[in-house]
C-alpha cells in the first residue's frame, strides 16, 4: 500500500459471508439432546442420528415452525415438541402422529446441512441441501504426539472480519496486551513478508526476537530467534504460528463462526510443543490465554459499539495493518462467488 493510499480512509465496505465449513460446537457437546446454534443469522440445530453421526437441520419445524431444538431426539430422529412430527438427519419427515398416510413428503422436509465430526469439533457446511465438494479444514498438529492440545470456545463481540483482524494483528499487542507480548518502548525493526495463499493470505515476520513478556518466556525459555506467521484462510480460519528451533512450536487455529453480524464465535485449537511439562504448561497457559482474550473482547466490544454508533466503519490504514483489509477483500470476493486470484508477495519493514 502506498503512502498516498494509507492517508485515505476506506469507506464502509461489508466483508460479506463466505460459504464453506464452519465449526458450530465441540463434538463432546453434541449428544443425546438437540443443540441449537446460529450461523450467519440462521438458526440451525444439530443432534446425533441412530449411527451416532452428527447431523444438522434448519431449526424450524416444517409443520408450524416451532424450534426443533426445543424437542428431543428419539431413535436418531428429532421430534418436534408441538405436534410430535419427527425428522431424520436428512430432514425427511418420518412420523406425523395421528396421520393415517405416509408422513414423508417433499413439502414436509426440513432443509439439512452437511455435518462432520473432525478433530474434536462439529463442522457444518453453510449452504443447505448440498453435498459439499470440500471437507472441513484439517487443523495442523492437533492431537499429534508431543503436542499439548487445548480447545476453547469463546463468544466475541464483532463481525468475523474484525475478530479475524484482531486475532492476527501485531500492532495492538503492545497496547491492549502491554507486558504480555511486546512493549511499546523497546521496538526493533523487522521484515514482514505478506503472501497470497490459495484462498487466503499470510504474513511472515522475520528477525523478531523472542518477546520479553510472559508469553515469550513461556513459549521459549531458552530465548533465540522467533519464526512467526499469521494466516487467514477462507472462509473462517485465523491462525498464528510461532516456531523456535524444533523444540518449541505453538500453533493456534481459531475457526471463526459468524453468529450474527456483530457476534462471532471463536472455536480455538491450540497445539503447543515446548520444553515445559504439560501439567505446568496447562496451569500457566489457560490463565494467560484467558487474560489476553478478555482484553481482546473488551477492545472488540468498544470497536463494535463505535461502528454502530457512527453508522458504519470508516477506517484509515497504513502498510503495517498487514492483514485486515486483505481479509475483508477475500471475504467480499468469496461472498460473491469469486475465487481470489491474488499473486501478491510483498515485503515491508515494521518496528515491533
Binding stretches for ligand FES (CB under 6 A): 61, 63-64, 66, 80, 82-85
Strand ordering across the sheet containing 21-26: 21-26, 121-125, 115-118
Helices then strands, counting H and E runs in the chain, come out as 6, 21
Q: Which of residues 296, 304, 334, 350 is near Fe ion by CB under 5 A?
A: 296
Shortest spacing between CB 213 and Fe ion, in angstroms: 13
The phi, psi pair for 231, rounded to 5°, reads: -135, 145
CB closer to ligand FES, 64 vs 282:
64
CB closer to ligand FES, 44 vs 251:
44
The DSSP secondary structure of 151-198, one letter per residue, reads EEEEEEES-HHHHHHHHT-STTHHHHTTTTS--STT--EEEEEEEEET
Shortest spacing between CB 83 and ligand FES, in angstroms: 3
CB closer to ligand FES, 83 vs 346:
83
CB closer to Fe ion, 89 vs 213:
213
Q: Is residue 302 helix, strand or coil?
A: helix
Taking contact as CB under 5 A, which single stretch among the options 99-107, 186-194, 221-229, 296-304 is the one that binds Fe ion? 296-304
Taking contact as CB under 5 A, which single stretch among the options 229-237, 273-281, 293-301, 331-339 is the one that binds Fe ion? 293-301
Largest CA distance in the chain: 78
CB closer to Fe ion, 88 vs 169:
169
Under 8 Å between Cβ of 228 and 242 = yes
Query: How does strand 9-10 pair with strand 315-316?
Result: antiparallel
Q: How many CA atoms lie within 13 A of 54 on its CB side?
A: 27
Which single residue is written with the C-alpha cell 491462525?
A: 239
230 binds Fe ion, rule: CB under 5 A: no
Shortest spacing between CB 34 and ligand FES, in angstroms: 13
Query: What is the x/- site pattern for Fe ion, positions 60-79, by CB under 5 A?
Result: --------------------
Cis omega (within 30 of 0) for bond into 235:
yes
Shortest spacing between CB 177 and Fe ion, in angstroms: 6
CB closer to ligand FES, 80 vs 331:
80
Contact positions vs Fe ion (CB under 5 A):
296
Amino acid at each position: 500500500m502506498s503512502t498516498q493510499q494509507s492517508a485515505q480512509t476506506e469507506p464502509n465496505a461489508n466483508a460479506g459471508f463466505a460459504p464453506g465449513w464452519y465449526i458450530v460446537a465441540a463434538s463432546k457437546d453434541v449428544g443425546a439432546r438437540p443443540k441449537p446454534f446460529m450461523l450467519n443469522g440462521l438458526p440451525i440445530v444439530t443432534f446425533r442420528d441412530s449411527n451416532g453421526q452428527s447431523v444438522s437441520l434448519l431449526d424450524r419445524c416444517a409443520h408450524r415452525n416451532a424450534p426443533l431444538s426445543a424437542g428431543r431426539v428419539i431413535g436418531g430422529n428429532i421430534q418436534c415438541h408441538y405436534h410430535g412430527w419427527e425428522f431424520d438427519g436428512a430432514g425427511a419427515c418420518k412420523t406425523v402422529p395421528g396421520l393415517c398416510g405416509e408422513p414423508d413428503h417433499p413439502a414436509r422436509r426440513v432443509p439439512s446441512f452437511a455435518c462432520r465430526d473432525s478433530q474434536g469439533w462439529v463442522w457444518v457446511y453453510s449452504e443447505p441441501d448440498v453435498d459439499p465438494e470440500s471437507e472441513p479444514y484439517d487443523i495442523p498438529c492437533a492431537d499429534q504426539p508431543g503436542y499439548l492440545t487445548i480447545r476453547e470456545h469463546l463468544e466475541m463481540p464483532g463481525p468475523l472480519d474484525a475478530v479475524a483482524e484482531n486475532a492476527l494483528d501485531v500492532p495492538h499487542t503492545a497496547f491492549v496486551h502491554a507486558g504480555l507480548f511486546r512493549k511499546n518502548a523497546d521496538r526493533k525493526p523487522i521484515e514482514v513478508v505478506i503472501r497470497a495463499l490459495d484462498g487466503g493470505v499470510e504474513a511472515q515476520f522475520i528477525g523478531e526476537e523472542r518477546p520479553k513478556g510472559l508469553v515469550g518466556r513461556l513459549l521459549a525459555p531458552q530465548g533465540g530467534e522467533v519464526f512467526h506467521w499469521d494466516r487467514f484462510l477462507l472462509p473462517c480460519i485465523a491462525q498464528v504460528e510461532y516456531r523456535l528451533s524444533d523444540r518449541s512450536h505453538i500453533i493456534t487455529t481459531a475457526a471463526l463462526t459468524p453468529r450474527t453480524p456483530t457476534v462471532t464465535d471463536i472455536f480455538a485449537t491450540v497445539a503447543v510443543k515446548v520444553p515445559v511439562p504439560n501439567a505446568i504448561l496447562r496451569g500457566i497457559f489457560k490463565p494467560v490465554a484467558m487474560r489476553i482474550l478478555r482484553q481482546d473482547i473488551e477492545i472488540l466490544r468498544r470497536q463494535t459499539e463505535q461502528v454502530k454508533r457512527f453508522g458504519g466503519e470508516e477506517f484509515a490504514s497504513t502498510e503495517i495493518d498487514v492483514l485486515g483489509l486483505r481479509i475483508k477483500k477475500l471475504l467480499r470476493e468469496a461472498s460473491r462467488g469469486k475465487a481470489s486470484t491474488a499473486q501478491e508477495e510483498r515485503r515491508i519493514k515494521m518496528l515491533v
